[in-house]
């Protein structure tokens, strides 16, 4: 994996993953442009940065954020002839997310990510830290010329870091309540989803009202996406998810923990038990936390869909609504 | 240290450190503006980010980068009436450096920084990683509206991360030669010095020729600054330097290591010796590496000074030249 010099296999794999067959959809073609933009951007004379970046980008992932940006662009009236800006923005959004997962895997000791060994696992902590920094700085090089877009994206990135930090603080101080949970996921996940949708819409020259509506749509499906992610962390296996699972309960966080904390079921878990994870997981699976999580996630999706119903009917609007549904119905 | 809510004592300390008395100098006043800009910028509802950021910013440091930006601004014709942009740029440059030292201290296990415990030592690795990320993202929020300045600064930040990575790679692969050393310090230190000086000059509306000349000046004193830093890491004590010293030789890097590697004196050090650090340090001190380093550093300072001799004579130009001299003559 230390010799990723040829882009083509990665791009082919991305093409296959994005849609089947890719030429059925304008979005699939546009997403290929996003892949290429990301892979080109992280080229560097410093081999380890290039290789580690392409390793994690080439692993694929759901690409829900760039898809959201592109669909918002088309739903707000953008055309295929004018994809340059939205491609850069979509790549920037995905790379911000990617940088954050590289750093997350250091803090969480995650060894599996997107079905591959994490950067941390392959290159070690020092290079993982620097690769995450590199991805952040390359994003800001990419979007430096974009003025106001730049401010929106920088603010969303700050929110992401604040959300991650608030989460670590709440765990440390054993204050992982439901109120804190919603504040955390608003910052660490939904803010970037909102930025993706707003900026996609902005690139199409949409009205301020449509930009705001699509931003709100993004925020709501971001909340929903994160809640479902937290459910899957409890119920899913590493094979299904392509990443280390069970981390949330082990670390005292996630929807289930917030729910159980507030319902007095998990106040403090016994670190000295043979495997506290197994017994807590059993409690969570037996309880109502996960059902409650799905209910909340569906509520946000409903709000999301209602919020863009005023947009003119289009294939992109239909796909946006389908994206919202898929966020809550997914199994990985 | 977890309760840094009142800015005034920090600003007072900064005022005292910058110059004595501060009203003697326009630069000292401008540097106070930079301190305030940095402290205000890192305000956050997430307490640990605000506190850890203000802890490291409030520790002071030499402020050579913002000083360089401000002096370049004045030397290229800028006036006190028009400090807004250059203040933001100078703060951004100093914060990029600050973010990088917070992350460095994770990778190097540094426990002392600017005479205070490092963020890593006080808040632990997870929060130190997130604080560094936060400082990077806040910088990009700050400079998002600055267009082309933004591109220059983002590129310098990428160079910094590349330089740090190249250094870690060269150490790991035992390829720490003099050629690699110069490439490393060009990227990790001199590129940001160049950006500071160029952007300072740009803010004054200078000609392209003067911007380039001041950029070259910055690059040269950046090289010189880093060489002297590496000398001081060998000869200085933690008390003098305000940071953990002796790290470079312990990690197999720095000017002395590059010099000795190429002169066949340190090929591989014996990790199993009782304290390999002490014997290597003795060899280096007895040899010519440190004298050679000082000679090189002085050469870059001379080039730097010659390169701005065409600028009109001014107090700022005189201070720039004095800054260049001080970089190489300093003891901490």
Q: Does A175 touch chain B (CB under 8 A)?
A: no
- What is the tens place of the pLDDT at every residue in A8-63? 655 555 554 443 333 347 899 999 999 999 999 999 999 999 999 999 999 988 99
Nearest alpha carbon to residue A308 among A74, A108, A6, A43: A74
- Residue owning tokens 């898809």: A67
Nearest alpha carbon to residue A46 among A116, A134, A126, A141: A134
How many Cα neighbours within 13 Å face the side chain of B313?
0
Start-to-end Cα distance in chain A = 25
- Check: CB of residue B217 under 8 Å from CB of residue B308: yes
- What is the tens place of the pLDDT at every residue in B64-87? 999 999 999 999 999 999 999 999
- Check: CB of residue B74 under 8 Å from CB of residue B308: no
Average pLDDT, stretch A243-260? 84
pTM (predicted TM-score) = 0.89
Residue numbers in A near B145 (CB within 8 A): 147-148, 150-151
Query: Does any domain span residue A2?
Result: no
Query: Does any domain span residue B2?
Result: no
How many Cα neighbours within 13 Å face the side chain of A39?
21
Complex prediction ipTM? 0.89
CATH number at residue A278: 1.10.600.10
pLDDT confidence of residue B159: 98
Alpha carbon of B308: minimum distance to chain A alpha carbons (Å) = 29
- Residue owning tokens 């690409």: A63
Start-to-end Cα distance in chain B = 25
Query: Does any domain span residue B3?
Result: no
Cβ atoms within 10 A of the Cβ of A62, count?
Answer: 16
Nearest alpha carbon to residue B305 among B289, B286, B323, B331: B323
Q: Does B136 touch chain A (CB under 8 A)?
A: yes
Question: Predicted confidence band at A279 (pLDDT cuts at 50, 70, 90)?
Answer: low
pLDDT confidence of residue A283: 72
Query: Does any domain span residue B204?
Result: yes
Query: How many folded domains does chain B comprise?
Result: 1
CA dist A223 and A231 (Å) reads 13
Q: Does B147 touch chain A (CB under 8 A)?
A: yes
Q: Does A129 touch chain B (CB under 8 A)?
A: yes
Query: Does any domain span residue B107?
Result: yes
Burial of B117 (0-12, 13-18, 19+ CB in 10 A): middle
Q: Which two tokens stand for residue B55?
A: 């802890």
| Chain-chain contact of B103 with A133 (C-beta, under 8 angstroms) | yes
Alpha carbon of A47: minimum distance to chain B alpha carbons (Å) = 9
Query: Does any domain span residue A1?
Result: no
Q: Does A251 touch chain B (CB under 8 A)?
A: no
Range(s) of the domain holding residue A325 = 8-329
Alpha carbon of B157: minimum distance to chain A alpha carbons (Å) = 6
Residues 6+ apart with CB under 8 A from B123: B48, B52, B131
Percent above pLDDT 70 for chain B: 87
- What is the tens place of the pLDDT at every residue in B277-319? 666 677 777 778 888 899 999 999 999 999 999 999 999 999 9
- Check: CB of residue A88 under 8 Å from CB of residue A141: no
Q: Which two tokens stand for residue B225?
A: 């600054």
Residue numbers in A near B46 (CB within 8 A): 162, 165-166, 169
């Amino acid at each position: 994996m230390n010799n990723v010099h040829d882009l083509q296999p990665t791009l082919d794999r991305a093409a296959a993953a994005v849609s089947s067959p890719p030429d059925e959809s304008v979005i699939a073609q546009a997403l290929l442009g996003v892949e290429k933009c990301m892979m080109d951007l992280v080229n560097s004379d410093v081999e380890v940065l290039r290789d580690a970046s392409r390793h994690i980008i080439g692993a694929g992932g759901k690409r829900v954020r760039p898809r959201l940006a592109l669909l918002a662009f088309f739903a707000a009236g953008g055309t295929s002839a004018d994809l340059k800006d939205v491609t850069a923005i979509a790549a920037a959004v995905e790379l911000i997310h990617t940088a954050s997962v590289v750093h997350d895997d250091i803090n969480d000791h995650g060894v599996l990510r997107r079905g591959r060994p994490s950067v941390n696992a392959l290159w070690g902590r020092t290079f993982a830290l620097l690769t995450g920094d590199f991805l952040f700085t390359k994003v800001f090089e990419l979007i430096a010329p974009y003025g106001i877009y730049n401010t929106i994206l920088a603010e969303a990135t700050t929110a992401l870091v604040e959300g991650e930090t608030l989460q670590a603080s709440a765990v440390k101080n054993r204050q992982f309540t439901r109120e804190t949970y919603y504040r955390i996921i608003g910052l660490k996940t939904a803010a970037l989803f909102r930025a993706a949708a707003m900026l996609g819409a902005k690139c199409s020259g949409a009205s301020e009202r449509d930009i705001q509506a699509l931003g709100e749509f993004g925020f709501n499906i971001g909340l929903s996406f994160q809640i479902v992610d937290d459910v899957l962390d409890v119920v899913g296996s590493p094979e299904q998810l392509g990443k280390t699972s069970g981390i949330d309960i082990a670390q005292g966080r996630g929807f289930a923990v917030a729910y159980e904390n507030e319902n007095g079921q998990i106040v403090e878990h016994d670190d000295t038990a043979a495997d506290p994870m197994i017994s807590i997981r059993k409690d969570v699976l037996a309880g109502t936390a996960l059902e409650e999580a799905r209910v909340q996630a569906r509520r946000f999706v409903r709000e999301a869909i209602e919020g863009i119903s005023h947009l003119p009917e289009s294939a992109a609007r239909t796909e946006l609504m389908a994206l919202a549904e898929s966020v809550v119905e997914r199994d990985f």
